[in-house]
Chain A
Amino acid sequence: DAGVIQSPRHEVTEMGQEVTLRCKPISGHDYLFWYRQTMMRGLELLIYFNNNVPIDDSGMPEDRFSAKMPNASFSTLKIQPSEPRDSAVYFCASSPTTGAWAEETQYFGPGTRLLVL
């Protein structure tokens, strides 16, 4: 398996532009997570899906951020309009479903490094 795939790996954009980050989870995994990593806030969970349905989006910073999962093999995280403070590394992760969810590890993608000028 190729693992979790994220694109693009790097994105440089100007303030006010729309940014779309993409993720392909590991086949068969029912959970998908979006994280953001910054120096100030560490690794924070933005939103996660179970079977393509958003379960908890309480970590989404504001209305400029939106995430979708139209099918089991694809998810997007969109920022519109982007701001310099959105500059961070965005990780997508997926996890299988088991009877004991808490012990399941998450498999992370390589991340998208976003720079908003």
Chain B
Amino acid sequence: DQQVKQNSPSLSVQEGRISILNCDYTNSMFDYFLWYKKYPAEGPTFLISISSIKDKNEDGRFTVFLNKSAKHLSLHIVPSQPGDSAVYFCAGSTNAGKSTFGDGTTLTVKP
């Protein structure tokens, strides 16, 4: 059972436009959701998170939206920049000590 799913393996957008990355989950016990960004030959790095009791969290160009009833979250990047091109992982986390990651979405921002 894949508890966290990122159904789009890849996404391509034009520089300056909005990037929307989606994530679905099945585990209602997740307390937090986190997005990580990964460049080639590097480990994932933390980008932004949201508590399960909130529906929106914003940090600069990055906003994460959570729809608990739909068990869906999304990451919005506005405006998108070529340096945002990377693999983005969505993860669900519990206080029991585990994070479960999605398979990742490769974002390409074209100049």
Is chain B found bound to chain A in the same assembly? yes
Chain A residues within 8 Å of B, Cβ to Cβ: 4, 31, 33, 35, 42-45, 48, 50, 55-56, 91, 93, 100-103, 105-111
A106: chain B residues at CB < 8 Å are 46, 99
* Contact assessment for B49 and A48 in the assembled complex, using a CB-CB cutoff below 8 Å: no
B44: chain A residues at CB < 8 Å are 43, 91, 108
Distance of B8 from chain A, by nearest CB (Å)? 14
Docked complex: B21-78 residues within 8 A CB-CB of A: 30-32, 34, 36, 41-46, 49, 51
The verdict on A110 contacting B43 (CB below 8 Å), with A42-B102, A102-B31 known, is yes
Partner of B97, one of A31, A43, A109: A31
B93: chain A residues at CB < 8 Å are 101-103
